[in-house]
Every structure is written in structure tokens, then in C-alpha cells.
């Protein structure tokens, strides 16, 4: 190193001080850089240790996101204030150019997704399969005229209107598929909730203040002002210590999210996190909002910023797969072939569902005797189109149409017309 000679005098002292300051500053910067590098690596390490990541990439222009249904969410563009749709893993399916989205049920559990849009002076229907706004207008009811409630007096399911009891519900009128369905004792505040089976029998007692659909064999129920989870036997699996997830729901209704892939977003003490089926925290309760997700990916908000939570794959349960005839443990009804089928139920209608799942939402009701074309199928389910609405129906209620059947049906219809 070259020696530096300092001469006596004020200017020399000033130079010495300057050199010392430069050296100290450089050392501080170097130390700060090392400290920052260490902090960044430590933060990254801690993020990995948590078992999830949170990224805001792609959400820079989003000011709000809320769940519309079990597949799609409504998002608001921060610049225009207009709304669009995205899948629950953040993929945009409908651009933000609409005024508002809403959901209604004109028949019990027959959900309709409605859009108010500059495209039309009338409300437009949303396709629940693709998450896109259609050109089809909606002029139906926003609230069903009759809703099934459990009659504690008659010990049966009863049609209920704004005046109260309106007659017993027959199993053939609903033609429910196997599963459990939440019902209330009335349409008023303070009603009690329980679950009926497909035979309209009360399967889980009327013990709760609110109740959601079953998924992964677990359902969210409310008791004592708090939400928890039970299994299909009514046994509590997650204690009643959770708050409503209404802040993440497009309609703002009192609700809790269902389990998917062994995980569910929940709210506690005003903050959202994600738990597993044992009630253990997988994502800590530090988020302002977490929406219903799928396959370990969740739309979420933290500190005013929106983004995606991705949970480590080892913490995500495998998706429930549909058995096929080739499966070694196959025990279900084989997938039907493509072709034309006729609806044959013990009742009057067959539920057209948004997914090949008995707990998924009903998008239409198909009358008995209707002919449908099956375009694809999985075990126990067939994908069909009815009145411009596509969805899944149970293949147990489909009968393959032959030439003879078609001719018979035509002759019968002709005879009736005459």
C-alpha cells in the first residue's frame, strides 16, 4: 500500500479527517450490504420455513377480490372501478368491464350468477363453467317462491314461503343425489340448522345457527356465534372458535369456506389464515383476506396488496380422483359412452351440476324424459348441455336412447298432440 505523508497544518488535519470518514463510510456500507444480504436470505429462509409463499405479481391493478362461487371470484380494477372475473388461482376469465356481479337462487339450490353490464340494458347470465359473461338475459326470480325448511311440528321437510308452512315436500319433487344437505327450521333470523339426506330424513340434528355444504367429508357449522367444522357423523373436527368469512364473499353473507385438498381458509380474531383438517395452522393468521382456493393456491390480501398464496405441495392433500373401470379398487358405475340419452328419474327432475360432485351447485333442473347428448364422461357422471347451460349429471339417471325408443317417444308425443 502506498504510504501517505501528512504535513503539519490545518489543511492536513482536514484531509486526515476526510480520509478517515471515507474509510468508515465504506466499512459501514460494506457491513450494511452484508447485513442486508443476510437479512434477505434469512427472510427467504423463514418464508420457506413457513411452508408457503405470497406473491403480488400480476395483481398490481387489482383493488378488491371476493368469491362469487366455488370456482370463480369477482375482482375490481383499481383504475376504472369496473369488475371482472378470475378463477380462484388468479387467472382472468372475464375482463374488468362490467358494473357488478351477483348470485341468486330462483329455485332451491339452483344458483344463477348474474352480471349488470354496459353490454345490455338487462341483466346477463354468467356461464358457471367458464366464468364468462354470456349474451343470455336473465328475467327470472332472484329469490325462490318456495324454499324447503324442516318442520319441527310435522318432523318432515316442508315447503315454506313468506307466510310460513306451505305443504310437505315429497322426495320425488327434489330428486336429490346421495349426500347431506343443510336445512333450516325457518326463513327468519334465529333459525336452527341441521342436515337432511337424499331421502329427506333429518340426518344431523338441528343444533346450529348456520351451516354450509359438505366437502371432503367435512362441513362448516356455526354455534355460539362462532364457526367450526363437523364430519358426516356430526362429530366436531375443528372447534367453534372461528369468525365469519363474510369479508371474502361477494354477497357479504355470513359464511365459512369448505375444505379442499385437506385445507381451508378461515378467519380468527379479524385475521385470515389457512388450516388443515386437524385445525392446525398451515398459513399463519396475518392476512386481511384469503379466498376459497384450490390445489394449494389462494387469492389473498395483506397490507392492502393483493396476490397469490401458494402452499408447499407436501402440505396439500392429493385431489380426490374419480375411479375408472381400470382402477384396481373400482366400485362405481362405469363412465357412460358419448351419445344420446334420456333422463329417467323416480321424480320429475334431474339436477344439472357445475361439477362432477354431488355437493357442487345446481345450475339447472332437467325434466324427466328429456333427451340429452353426452359429450364426455367420468365415472358416475356425464357432461351435457341443457337449454344453453352446460354441466354434469349423475349417469345413474340416464338411459341410452335407441332408434326404437326415439320412434316410440315420437309416436307417443304425436298421439298426445292429436
Tens place of pLDDT for every residue, the chain, 418 residues?
434 333 334 444 444 444 434 444 444 444 444 333 333 333 333 344 578 999 999 999 999 999 999 999 999 999 999 999 999 999 999 999 999 999 998 888 888 999 999 999 999 999 988 999 999 999 887 788 889 999 988 899 999 987 888 899 998 888 888 889 999 999 888 999 999 998 999 999 999 999 999 988 899 999 999 999 999 889 999 999 999 999 999 999 999 999 998 999 999 999 999 999 989 999 999 999 999 998 899 999 999 999 999 999 888 876 543 333 333 333 345 577 889 999 998 767 898 888 887 767 788 889 989 999 998 887 788 889 998 788 889 888 899 987 544 444 444 443 332 2
Query: Of the candidates 71, 115, 112, which has an alpha carbon nearest to the alpha carbon of residue 97?
Result: 115
Q: Which three cell numbers stand for residue 88?
A: 380462484
Q: Please tell me the distance from the alpha carbon of residue 364 to that of residue 391, in angstroms, as a whole number.
A: 9
Q: Please tell me the distance from the alpha carbon of residue 216 to that of residue 320, in angstroms, as a whole number.
A: 8
What is the biggest distance separating any 2 CA atoms in the chain, rounded to whole angstroms? 126
Q: Please tell me the distance from the alpha carbon of residue 301 to that of residue 311, in angstroms, as a whole number.
A: 15
Q: Please tell me the distance from the alpha carbon of residue 223 to that of residue 184, in angstroms, as a whole number.
A: 14
- CB-based burial, 208-247: b 16+ in 10 Å, e otherwise: bbbbbbbbbebbbbbbeeebbbbeeebeebbebebbbbeb
Q: Please tell me the distance from the alpha carbon of residue 73 to that of residue 80, in angstroms, as a whole number.
A: 18
Q: Which stretches does DSSP call E strand in 49-88?
A: 52-55, 62-67, 72-77, 83-87
Q: Please tell me the distance from the alpha carbon of residue 106 to that of residue 109, in angstroms, as a whole number.
A: 8
pLDDT at residue 347 in the model: 66
Q: What is the arrangement of strands in the sheet containing 305-311, beginning at the earlier edge strand?
A: 52-55, 305-311, 297-302, 289-290
Strand partners, 378: 381
Query: Of the candidates 327, 339, 330, which has an alpha carbon nearest to the alpha carbon of residue 395?
Result: 339
pLDDT at residue 108 in the model: 86
- Residue 290 and residue 242 in contact, taking contact as beta carbons nearer than 8 Å: no
Please measure the distance between the N-terminal and C-terminal CA atoms of the chain and give it in whole angstroms: 114
SS3 26: helix
Q: Which residue has the cell 338487462?
A: 122
pLDDT at residue 48 in the model: 45
pLDDT at residue 10 in the model: 41
Query: What own/partner pairs with CB < 8 Å and gap ≥ 24 does 195-199 have?
Result: 195/219, 196/150, 196/157, 198/171, 199/171
Query: Of the candidates 70, 162, 69, 143, which has an alpha carbon nearest to the alpha carbon of residue 105?
Result: 143
pLDDT at residue 99 in the model: 97
Residue 157, H or E segment: strand 156-161
Amino acid at each position: 500500500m502506498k504510504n501517505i505523508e501528512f504535513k503539519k497544518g490545518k489543511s492536513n488535519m482536514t484531509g486526515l479527517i476526510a480520509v478517515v470518514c471515507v474509510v468508515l463510510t465504506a466499512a459501514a456500507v460494506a457491513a450494511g450490504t452484508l447485513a442486508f444480504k443476510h437479512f434477505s436470505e434469512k427472510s427467504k429462509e423463514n418464508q420457506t420455513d413457513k411452508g408457503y409463499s405470497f406473491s403480488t405479481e400480476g395483481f398490481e391493478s387489482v383493488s378488491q377480490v371476493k368469491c362469487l362461487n366455488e370456482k370463480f371470484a369477482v375482482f375490481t380494477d383499481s383504475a376504472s372501478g369496473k369488475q371482472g372475473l378470475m378463477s380462484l388461482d388468479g387467472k382472468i376469465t372475464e375482463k374488468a368491464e362490467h358494473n357488478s356481479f351477483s348470485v341468486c337462487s330462483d329455485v332451491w339450490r339452483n344458483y344463477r350468477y348474474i352480471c349488470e353490464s354496459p353490454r345490455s340494458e338487462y341483466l346477463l347470465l354468467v356461464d358457471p363453467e367458464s366464468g364468462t359473461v354470456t349474451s343470455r338475459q336473465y328475467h327470472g326470480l332472484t329469490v325462490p317462491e318456495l324454499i324447503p325448511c324442516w318442520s319441527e311440528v310435522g318432523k318432515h321437510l316442508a315447503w315454506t314461503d313468506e307466510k310460513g308452512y306451505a305443504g310437505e315436500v315429497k322426495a320425488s319433487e327434489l330428486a336429490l343425489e346421495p349426500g347431506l344437505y343443510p336445512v333450516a327450521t325457518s326463513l327468519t333470523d334465529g333459525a336452527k340448522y341441521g342436515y337432511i339426506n337424499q331421502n329427506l330424513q333429518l340426518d344431523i340434528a338441528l343444533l346450529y345457527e348456520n351451516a354450509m355444504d359438505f366437502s371432503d367429508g367435512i362441513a362448516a357449522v356455526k354455534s355460539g356465534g362462532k364457526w367450526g367444522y363437523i364430519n358426516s357423523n356430526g362429530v366436531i373436527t375443528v372447534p367453534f372458535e372461528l369468525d365469519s368469512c363474510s369479508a371474502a364473499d361477494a354477497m357479504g353473507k355470513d359464511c365459512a369456506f369448505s375444505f379442499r385438498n385437506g385445507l381451508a381458509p378461515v378467519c380468527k380474531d379479524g385475521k385470515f389464515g389457512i388450516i388443515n383438517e386437524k385445525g392446525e395452522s398451515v398459513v399463519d393468521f396475518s392476512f386481511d383476506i384469503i379466498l376459497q382456493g384450490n390445489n394449494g393456491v389462494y387469492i389473498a390480501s395483506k397490507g392492502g396488496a393483493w396476490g397469490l398464496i401458494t402452499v408447499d405441495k407436501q402440505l396439500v392433500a392429493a385431489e380426490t380422483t374419480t375411479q375408472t373401470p381400470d382402477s384396481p379398487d373400482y366400485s362405481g358405475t362405469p363412465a357412460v359412452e358419448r351419445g344420446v340419452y334420456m333422463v329417467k328419474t323416480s321424480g320429475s327432475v334431474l339436477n344439472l351440476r357445475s361439477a362432477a360432485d354431488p355437493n357442487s351447485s345446481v345450475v339447472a333442473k332437467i325434466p324427466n324424459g328429456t333427451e340429452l347428448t353426452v359429450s364426455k364422461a367420468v365415472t358416475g357422471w356425464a357432461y351435457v348441455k341443457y337449454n344453453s347451460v352446460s354441466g354434469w349429471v349423475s349417469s345413474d339417471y340416464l338411459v341410452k336412447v335407441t332408434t326404437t325408443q326415439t320412434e316410440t317417444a315420437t309416436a307417443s308425443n304425436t298421439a298426445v298432440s292429436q
